[in-house]
Amino acid sequence: MGIGLIAVRIKLPGGTLKMKVYRELRGRERSRRIPVVKIGPVYFTWWSSRLRPLNGQPGDDPDRSKATP
């Protein structure tokens, strides 16, 4: 039986702390391009508010606002 966890976001100064199970992780989280800590079945990820998309790729985090000119 799997854990029935829904992704949780906690906005903090400097970024957002997220708690998820593996199947909810995004590409950057799975490849560890952002800080990730696993405790039991739960992954804690840190999305810095200063994080920039890599190589002009669109951000893969829908919670981040898009800059408008």
pLDDT in tens, 3-22: 566 789 999 999 999 999 99
Q: State the Cα–Cα distance between residues 41 and 52, nearest whole angstrom.
A: 28
Residue 58, pLDDT above cutoff 70 = no
- Can you give the pLDDT at residue 56? 47
Three-state SS at 54: helix
Give tens-digit pLDDT for 34-52. 999 999 999 999 999 985 5
Q: Please, are residues 46 and 52 in contact by the beta-carbon 8 Å criterion?
A: no
Residue 24, pLDDT above cutoff 60 = yes
Q: Is 55 left (phi over 0), alpha (psi -120 to 50) or beta?
A: left
Among residues 40, 34, 47, the alpha carbon closest in space to that of 8 is found at 47
Strand extents, DSSP E, the chain: 8-12, 15-20, 36-39, 42-48
